Chain A
Amino acid sequence: MIIGIDVGGTHADGVLLDGTRLVAKHKVNVDQRHLSDIIITLLQALVPKDRHRLNRIHLSSTLCTNAIVTGSLDPVGMLIQAGPGMNPEFLAQSDATCFLDGSIDHRGHIICDPDLHKVDTAAKAMQQSGIDSIGIVTKFSYRNNSHEKYIAEHLAGRFAHVSMGHRISGLPNFPRRVYSTWLNAALKSQFCHFKEAIEHGLAHLDITCPCHILKADGGTIPFSRASEFPCESVHSGPSASVMGCLALCAQKGDAILLDIGGTTTDISLLVDGTPLLEPYGIRIAGRPTLIRALNTISIGLGGDSAVSREGSTFRIGPERQGPPMSQGGTGPTPTDAMVVLGRLQIGSVEKAAAAMTALCPQEAPERTATRLLETFAERIRQAATAMIEEVFSRPVYTVSALLHRRKISPEQIVAIGGPAAALESLLSRQFGLPCTVPADYEVANAIGAARTRLTVQASLYADTADGQLSIPEISCLERIPSGFGMPEAEKRLKQVIFGMVSEMGMVEIPEIDFLERLEMNVVRGFETSGKILNLKAQIRPGLATT
């Protein structure tokens, strides 16, 4: 049995599943200052009497998101080696940023080592200002992590928490690596406290099974790993919702997933039944990061959005109106239109009709309501279309990839959230696609959290001309023979992923996808001097089968 818990902005849901069967559900209100207490309360209500039947707990928590929103992050000292390129000044977002000299080039060659004297001076200043968590990032550290490790080793013991860029992600993009590392460092101590509190609570409840944390990429990681990489637990809400949709309404082909709420609608996409990921990572607190995440967009459109007339059509959102007029509010909302059309039975039908008349005095309320909801569905359709277009125009670098690009062509819509059922037929008509609103959708997020399995990504860069191999995710930098080729690289990366997931406690290892496989001859002076191999592989987001 698995318990899934999804902590949202106002309330938290929990479910107990036996396999895929929903055994129990529970809901509580949330006080963001006491997250661990709320989680323990939910666990208490859900945990089966026979503790041994409980296999795992999956948590989707707002802890890190709150820390960011409320600005209660730890102060961080950043040691950054930028090397040649763009002026890196913009990366100095706090006083405690030190730009180091030395550099590593695009092939991972060390051009010049950093001056340790400068590192010491910066470290001393950071310590004096009470900083206990630092981030170390060098450009191209995913090709060669030596400088990051060199600085970390040099500073060993001086700070409680050290985050290194190459461990956070094996993807390129230096500014994103800097911001991800900063975020990770800024979340560390809080996450450790949270972990302690939860572990204490679990012990109190006599629960001994492993606890996993939901990530933004539609996967989970064990608590232990999350405390090393707390940045991965940020923004897991949309991920719970997408995985919930998937759990409640299995899809094989391309589909559009909608989570329609009071203020916003979240849109995400399934490609061949798998949720689509962001190419690099999400934006957190305005910063682009390498935190792997599902590709979701949020538009300011929901049941309680403010509505006004705009020519012959309507302006809906992005601001929230407050309660609908049918429930005693002061301005018309899409919810009022749903009430007028009899698709929602909440509040007063008369007041809802008055809301429509306030919008279009010359028109029958039913007519206005229909037109308003058509506009609502059309806005969602336009946003989804733009999203599909954007995915299609992601950069490709080979002739074959350019010629064989496939545009996502959705066959179905799956909608969850309060107003979803009321909009089902309208959405279907507007998109020209079948639309499903699954049962139990009000606990979809908690079910999603419960059913989600581990995800892992790793990348490999091998340069046989230099005889060097780098797998940043596991901090590996080693020598390889000149005969190292694609079969060896694939095998090695598979082993690494197997190792990572079995370390995280996964027994049954799912299929590994190779997302990128680049093999390039290195030619110098008309002679082939070696090969560059670049691979990226993952365990894609998916549902646990048991």
Chain B
Amino acid sequence: MSFMPCAPHKTALILFPAFDWCISPTHPEREERLLYTRDQLIEEGLEDVENIVFFNPELASFQDIDRVHLCVPSSQKLLTESHLISAGGTLRAARAVMDKEAEKAFAIVRPPGHHAMQTVFGDRGFCIINIEAIMVEYIRRHYGVRKIAIVDTDCHHGDGTQDIFYNDPDTLFISLHQDGRTLFPGSGFLHESGGPAADGYTINIPLPPHTGEEGFDMVMERVVMPVLDEFQPELIINSAGQDNHYSDPITNMNFTAQGYARLNKLLNPDICVLEGGYSIEGALPYTNLGIILAMAGMDFSHVKEPDYDPARFAQPKDMTRYIEGICAKALEVFAKRGTGKKEALRQKIVREEKQIFYDTTGFHVDEARSYHLCPDCPGYTEIKASGLRNHIHAFTVPFNACPKCQQTARDSFSTTKPAAQTIIALQDRIEDIYETK
């Protein structure tokens, strides 16, 4: 006789609320954030459910960070143990799945990471390092996985994750978020569709404020699922931000715990990583539980916020039509994938410039990227960035670069002359080398 339910999918939880860490005492990213979530999950008795296992996070190493990021002045100087633990939580989740300790894993850790870009000068959007990206490159390094899809369901555009994988056709990045014209970080439009070697592999789905269950269901059914079926990833990762919730204090959406659970059941991700979500009392205990039960293949029909009333969030017809339009355009982006590369190859080097705003302490970084394109691989990227009177000039070789591009990047690194206040860096993901001079 069984006295506890058994999860059809064995699921690992890395629940680490970091009760002794905050950005500042009243900041949304404060000690209290996962208190009520922890209380709900423990009271539910999830620790005793058969096939749900709890793991502590480990500490990520600086090598795990430097494999992904270009930190200025250095990862050692920018990061605290809390960041290494948050990233380490995702690595533990990855190992649980890749070593088959569990079928699925959910890293419920903080601080989040999806606003952290490849170059890192400080904290932006509550994030310093991109914990999903660190996990993705860790998985590639240690388990040889190539094609990975990241579906970001945080209410804010996952601009950091987009930035890191922008030119990688082996990483499909789909972000569902509140329209950037109405919310931080102000990006994530349809036309941001990937770098010259990976056009069509970044798919942004900006949704109007007040989108609820119906709108998200539509995007999942019409865009996300068909695109994933076509891309055939070896792994699906959900950047499981929960701030689309109707009670979130810093966003304007109408999503629900039932909606998040249903989304996860459909998406069926291998690994979830918590991102944002700041309705710490009214939403997170329920959305996290809903996501866990959905991942584990269990009944989530009883997971409802105390004030849940689906009738409150009926979607107006014109909003439905608007979202239909967005879906059609997003599908078009993916359908045209790869066509831009032919054009770009004629130019050999494609240059892009952008300015990155670090909102937490308020400063700008100017960044110029040169994509050195190659017909056989995505090519290597040269990055120059300046901020806070520091500079970095880096050559980054993706894991899927060809030997020729790898060699060219290395040669360029060794012939680049040292300059004042400038870090010259080589980030070679094939050899797993991060070198500076």
On A, residues with C-beta under 8 Å from B are 82, 84-88, 90, 93, 103, 105-107, 111-112, 139-140, 172-176, 179, 280, 286-288, 393, 395-400, 402-403, 518, 520-523, 525-528, 532
Tell which of A84, A287, A528 has the most Cβ of chain B within 10 Å.
Answer: A84
**A521-B35 in contact (CB<8A):** no
User: Closest chain B residue to A82 by CB distance?
Assistant: B302
**A173-B47 in contact (CB<8A):** yes
Q: A402-B16, A523-B26 are in contact. Are A107 and B45 (CB under 8 A)?
A: no
**B35-A532 in contact (CB<8A):** yes
Q: A93-B3, A399-B85 are in contact. Are A85 and B44 (CB under 8 A)?
A: yes
26 interchain pairs, CB-CB under 8 A? A84-B302, A84-B303, A85-B43, A85-B303, A86-B45, A86-B49, A88-B302, A93-B1, A103-B306, A107-B36, A172-B42, A172-B43, A173-B43, A175-B4, A176-B48, A393-B56, A395-B56, A397-B15, A397-B18, A399-B20, A400-B20, A520-B31, A520-B32, A522-B32, A525-B249, A528-B25
Chain B interface residue number, banded: 35 or more
**B42-A84 in contact (CB<8A):** no
Q: A86-B293, A111-B306, A393-B55 are in contact. Are A520 and B3 (CB under 8 A)?
A: no
Label chain B's interface by main secondary structure.
loop
A86 contact set on B, CB distance < 8 A: 5, 44-46, 49, 289, 293, 298-299, 302-303
User: Cβ of B313 < 8 Å from any Cβ of A?
Assistant: no
A532 contact set on B, CB distance < 8 A: 32, 35
User: Cβ of B436 < 8 Å from any Cβ of A?
Assistant: no
A528 contact set on B, CB distance < 8 A: 25-26
**Distance A82 CA – B293 CA, assembled complex (angstroms):** 16
**Distance A140 CA – B293 CA, assembled complex (angstroms):** 20
**B56-A402 in contact (CB<8A):** yes
**B43-A90 in contact (CB<8A):** no
User: Closest chain B residue to A142 by CB distance?
Assistant: B43
B31 contact set on A, CB distance < 8 A: 520-521
**B20-A398 in contact (CB<8A):** yes
Q: What would 12 more interface pairs be, CB under 8 Å, given A286-B3, A288-B4?
A: A86-B289, A87-B298, A107-B281, A112-B306, A172-B39, A174-B43, A176-B45, A397-B15, A398-B20, A402-B56, A520-B32, A525-B249
A403 contact set on B, CB distance < 8 A: 81
**B3-A90 in contact (CB<8A):** yes
A393 contact set on B, CB distance < 8 A: 55-56
**A87-B25 in contact (CB<8A):** no
**B306-A84 in contact (CB<8A):** yes
Write the nearest CB–CB distance from A462 to chain B, whole angstroms.
Answer: 14
On B, residues with C-beta under 8 Å from A are 1-5, 15-21, 25-26, 30-32, 35-36, 38-40, 42-49, 54-57, 81-82, 85, 249, 281, 285-286, 289, 293, 298-299, 301-306
User: Closest chain B residue to A176 by CB distance?
Assistant: B45
Write the nearest CB–CB distance from A146 to chain B, whole angstroms.
Answer: 16
**A90-B302 in contact (CB<8A):** no
**B81-A87 in contact (CB<8A):** no
Which one of A106, A172, A287, A396 contacts B3 once the chains associate, using CB atoms below 8 Å? A287
**Distance A220 CA – B302 CA, assembled complex (angstroms):** 40
**B43-A288 in contact (CB<8A):** no
B306 contact set on A, CB distance < 8 A: 84, 103, 105, 111-112
**Distance A139 CA – B285 CA, assembled complex (angstroms):** 14
**A396-B56 in contact (CB<8A):** yes
B54 contact set on A, CB distance < 8 A: 395
User: Closest chain A residue to B36 by CB distance?
Assistant: A106
**Distance A139 CA – B289 CA, assembled complex (angstroms):** 15
A518 contact set on B, CB distance < 8 A: 19
